[in-house]
Chains A and B, each alone.
Chain A
Amino acid sequence: MQAEVDERTAAEHGLTAGEYQRITDRIGRVPTLTELGILSVMWSEHCSYKSSRLHLKKLPTSGERILVGPGENAGIVDIGGGWAAAFKIESHNHPSYIEPFQGAATGVGGILRDIFTMGARPVAVLDALRFGPPDDPQDGPANRRIIRGVVEGIAHYGNCIGVPTIGGECSFDPCFSANPLVNVFALGVFRQDSIFLGSAKGLGNPVIYVGAKTGRDGIQGASMASAEFDEDSEAKRPNVQVGDPFLEKLLLEACLEAMRTGAILGIQDMGAAGLTCSTAEMGGRGGVGIEIELDRVPQRESGMTPYEIMLSESQERMLLVAERGREGEVLEVFRKWGLDAVEIGTVTADRLLRVKHGGSVVAELDTGFLSDDAPLYDRPHTAPRRTAPLDGPVLNEPSAAGLRAGIEALLASPDLNSKRWIWEQYDHQVRTNTTSGPGADAAVIRIKEANVSLAMSLDGNSRYCALDPRLGTQLIVAECCRNLATVGATPIAATNNLNFGNPEKPEIMAQLVESIEGMAQACRHFGTPITGGNVSLYNETLGEGIDPAPVLGIVGILDHMAAPIGSCFTQAGDLVVLLGGLLPDCRGEELPRRFGSSQYAKTVLGQTWGLPPSLDLEQEAIVHEATRSIVRQNLAHSAHDVGSGGLAVALAECCFGPKPIGATVEFETNHPLLYAMFHECPSRVLLSLPRANIEEVVAIAASLDVPLVELGHTGGSTLTFGLNAATSVEAPVARLRGIWESSFEASLETQ
Chain B
Amino acid sequence: MKFGVIIFPGSNCDHDALYALTHNLGQQAAEIWHESEELGDADAIFVPGGFSYGDYLRCGAIARFSPVIRSLRRFADSGGLVIGVCNGFQILCESGLLDGALIRNQDLRFVCRTVDLVPGTLDSAFTSACQPERPLRIPVAHGEGCFFADEATLDRIEAEDRVAFRYSGENPNGSSRNIAGVLSQGRNVLGMMPHPERACDSAVGSTDGIAVFRSMISAAGNGLRHAG
Residues in chain A within 8 A of chain B (CB atoms): 155, 159-162, 244-247, 249-250, 337-338, 423-435, 446, 448, 561-563
Residues of B with C-beta under 8 A to A424: 109, 111-113
User: Contact: A159 with B204, CB < 8 Å?
Assistant: no
Please report the number of residue pairs spanning A and B whose Cβ atoms sit closer than 8 angstroms: 85
A144 to chain B: closest CB distance in Å?
Answer: 14
Residues in chain B within 8 A of chain A (CB atoms): 9-10, 12-13, 15-16, 19-20, 50-51, 53-56, 109-113, 139, 141, 143, 195, 197-198, 200-205
Alpha-carbon distance A423/B10, docked complex (angstroms):
22
User: Contact: A428 with B10, CB < 8 Å?
Assistant: no
Q: A432 with B204: in contact, given A159-B141, A160-B54 (CB under 8 Å)?
A: yes
User: Contact: A246 with B54, CB < 8 Å?
Assistant: yes
User: Contact: B51 with A160, CB < 8 Å?
Assistant: yes
Alpha-carbon distance A448/B19, docked complex (angstroms):
10
Alpha-carbon distance A561/B202, docked complex (angstroms):
11
Q: A430 with B19: in contact, given A244-B54, A245-B54, A249-B51 (CB under 8 Å)?
A: no
Contact of A425 among B109, B202, B203, B204 (CB under 8 A): B109
Q: What's the dominant secondary structure at chain A's contact region?
A: loop
Residues of A with C-beta under 8 A to B201: 432
Q: A432 with B198: in contact, given A162-B50, A246-B53, A425-B109 (CB under 8 Å)?
A: yes
Residues of A with C-beta under 8 A to B205: 429, 563
A-B contact pairs, 8 of them (CB 8 A): A160-B10, A160-B54, A424-B109, A426-B112, A430-B12, A431-B16, A432-B201, A433-B204
Contact of A246 among B15, B16, B56, B202 (CB under 8 A): B56
A662 to chain B: closest CB distance in Å?
Answer: 23
Residues of A with C-beta under 8 A to B202: 563
**Interface centre among A160, A244, A427, A434, by most B CB within 10 Å?**
A427
Residues of B with C-beta under 8 A to A338: 9
Alpha-carbon distance A618/B140, docked complex (angstroms):
44
A189 to chain B: closest CB distance in Å?
Answer: 13
User: Contact: A246 with B10, CB < 8 Å?
Assistant: yes
B62 to chain A: closest CB distance in Å?
Answer: 10
A120 to chain B: closest CB distance in Å?
Answer: 15
User: Contact: A427 with B197, CB < 8 Å?
Assistant: no
User: Contact: A245 with B51, CB < 8 Å?
Assistant: yes
Alpha-carbon distance A448/B15, docked complex (angstroms):
12
Residues of A with C-beta under 8 A to B55: 160, 246
Contact of A430 among B111, B141, B200, B203 (CB under 8 A): B141
B103 to chain A: closest CB distance in Å?
Answer: 17
Residues of A with C-beta under 8 A to B12: 160-162, 249, 430
Task: Give the nearest-CB partner of B7 in chain A.
Answer: A253
Residues of B with C-beta under 8 A to A244: 54
User: Contact: A429 with B204, CB < 8 Å?
Assistant: yes
A290 to chain B: closest CB distance in Å?
Answer: 31
Task: Give the nearest-CB partner of A448 in chain B.
Answer: B19
Residues of B with C-beta under 8 A to A561: 203
Q: A432 with B19: in contact, given A162-B13, A250-B9, A250-B10 (CB under 8 Å)?
A: yes
Task: Give the nearest-CB partner of B141 in chain A.
Answer: A427
Residues of A with C-beta under 8 A to B203: 435, 446, 561-563
Task: Give the nearest-CB partner of A246 in chain B.
Answer: B54
Alpha-carbon distance A426/B112, docked complex (angstroms):
6
Q: A425 with B112: in contact, given A161-B12, A431-B16, A432-B204 (CB under 8 Å)?
A: yes
User: Contact: B16 with A430, CB < 8 Å?
Assistant: yes
Residues of A with C-beta under 8 A to B13: 162, 430
B155 to chain A: closest CB distance in Å?
Answer: 33
B120 to chain A: closest CB distance in Å?
Answer: 24
Residues of B with C-beta under 8 A to A430: 12-13, 16, 141, 198
User: Contact: B9 with A427, CB < 8 Å?
Assistant: no
Residues of B with C-beta under 8 A to A433: 204
Task: Give the nearest-CB partner of A148 in chain B.
Answer: B109
Task: Give the nearest-CB partner of B54 in chain A.
Answer: A246
User: Contact: B204 with A427, CB < 8 Å?
Assistant: no
Sorted nearest first, the 3 A-B pairs with minimum C-beta distance are A162-B12, A246-B54, A160-B51
Residues of A with C-beta under 8 A to B16: 430-432
